[in-house]
């Protein structure tokens, strides 16, 4: 191509694939100035006009406004700075779109009412500070009176959701559901009772000094029975019930009465209180938000143990 070659607007249109109208618009706004004019006043453009048009088209397709493009063309702004600014803006837009997608997916999956959809939308849009305030308020209510317990810091950490800055839609949807649980006063009350019992469950064993944790004992004793297909009322369940009752008696500091109907009733009531489906839901959602492995539900073991205890009262 000869460096002295000049092109008409029609030539540029054919070479770039744009319409004559689009190129004329870029010319009229000064983005692609003419190199020369014919005696009749028609604009003519040099080879660099093709490169300018291609750059303008690319920047427009990336969503950059004409005023900013003009500054880039006139060297009033660095292309790298403009690109960085718009990349940041796109990051924000992507996060917003992910939030919207997650809310719409939740609405479609759950068959939500307009009011519920509005609530989910507001929960998804909470700022980081607002999310943290909601979490802190929930944990403060659940662990009220237990802040001085040695296990307080570790337990609250294990129950704290941490939504990443750029979460996947699945994590956003899980956060929306979890945020609804955080505001469920009935669940707060139930979990507060569980926390109080958890504090008691962690009484140290007189022999080993290790905490006596009821949930761990239920999982350890009952899981093999579930795997073996042992029915709760069957005689084969007797040693398991006895072991659980003895463990609970040690927690209560009353080992002499571990094999009594009264203790069986008390332990069954304790396990039934632990067996709240919202607890499993909370832990499952928490795992999604924090990117943890899915938790193993304690529900089957609690159901088995409660039935085994009730049939022996």
- Residue by residue, pLDDT tens for the chain (313 residues) are 445 688 899 999 999 988 999 989 988 888 888 888 888 888 898 888 888 888 888 888 888 888 888 888 888 778 888 888 888 778 877 877 777 777 777 777 777 788 777 877 777 777 888 889 999 999 999 999 888 877 788 888 889 999 887 778 788 888 988 988 999 999 999 889 888 876 765 555 555 555 567 888 899 999 999 999 999 999 999 999 999 998 888 888 776 666 788 888 889 988 988 888 998 999 999 999 999 999 989 999 999 999 999 998 7
CA 114/CA 122 separation, integer angstroms: 12
Q: What does the pLDDT read at residue 261? A: 85
CA 210/CA 246 separation, integer angstroms: 16
Q: Provide the pairing of β-strand 36-37 with 43-44.
A: antiparallel
Q: What does the pLDDT read at residue 1? A: 43
CA 30/CA 24 separation, integer angstroms: 10
Beta carbons within 8 Å of 246's beta carbon, 6+ residues apart = 255, 258, 259
Instruction: Output the CA–CA distances (angstroms, integers) from residue 19 to 5, 7, 125, 146, in the order listed.
Output: 21, 15, 42, 72
Q: What does the pLDDT read at residue 178? A: 92
Contact between 171 and 183 under an 8 Å Cβ cutoff? The reply is no
Q: What does the pLDDT read at residue 142? A: 92
Write out the H or E segment, with its range, that includes residue 221: helix 214-228
Contact between 214 and 140 under an 8 Å Cβ cutoff? The reply is no
Beta carbons within 8 Å of 105's beta carbon, 6+ residues apart = 169, 173
Write out the H or E segment, with its range, that includes residue 43: strand 43-44
Structural Rg of the chain based on CA atoms:
34
Q: Which of 260, 234, 263 is nearest to 248 (CA)?
A: 263
Q: What does the pLDDT read at residue 155? A: 83
In DSSP notation, 79-145 reads HHHHHHHHHHHHHHHHHHHHHHHHHHHHHHHHT--HHHHHHHHHHHT--HHHHHHHHHHHHHHHTTT
């Amino acid at each position: 191509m000869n460096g002295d070659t000049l092109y008409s607007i029609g030539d540029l249109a054919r070479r770039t694939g744009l319409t004559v109208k689009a190129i004329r618009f870029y010319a009229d706004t000064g983005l692609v100035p003419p190199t020369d004019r014919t005696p009749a006043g028609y604009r003519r453009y040099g080879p660099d006009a093709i490169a300018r048009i291609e750059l303008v088209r690319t920047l427009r397709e990336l969503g950059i406004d004409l005023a900013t493009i003009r500054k880039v063309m006139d060297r009033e702004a660095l292309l790298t700075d403009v690109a960085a600014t718009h990349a940041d803006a796109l990051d924000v837009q992507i996060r917003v779109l992910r939030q919207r997608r997650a809310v719409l997916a939740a609405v479609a999956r759950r068959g939500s009412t307009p009011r519920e959809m509005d609530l989910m939308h507001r929960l998804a849009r909470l700022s980081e500070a607002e999310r943290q305030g909601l979490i802190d308020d929930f944990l403060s209510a659940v662990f009220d009176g237990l802040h001085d317990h040695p296990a307080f810091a570790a337990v609250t950490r294990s129950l704290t959701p941490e939504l990443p800055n750029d979460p996947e839609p699945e994590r956003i949807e899980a956060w929306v559901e979890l945020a609804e649980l955080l505001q469920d006063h009935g669940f707060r009350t139930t979990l507060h009772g569980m926390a109080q019992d958890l504090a008691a469950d962690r009484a140290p064993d007189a022999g080993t000094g290790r905490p006596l944790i009821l949930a761990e004992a239920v999982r350890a004793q009952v899981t093999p029975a579930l795997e073996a297909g042992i029915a709760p009322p069957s005689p084969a369940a007797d040693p398991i019930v006895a072991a659980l009752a003895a463990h609970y008696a040690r927690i209560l500091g009353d080992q002499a009465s571990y094999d009594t109907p009264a203790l069986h009733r008390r332990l069954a009531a304790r396990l039934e209180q632990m067996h709240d489906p919202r607890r499993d839901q909370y832990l499952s959602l928490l795992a999604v938000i924090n990117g943890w492995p899915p938790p193993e539900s304690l529900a089957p073991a609690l159901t088995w143990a409660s039935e085994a205890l009730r049939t022996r009262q």
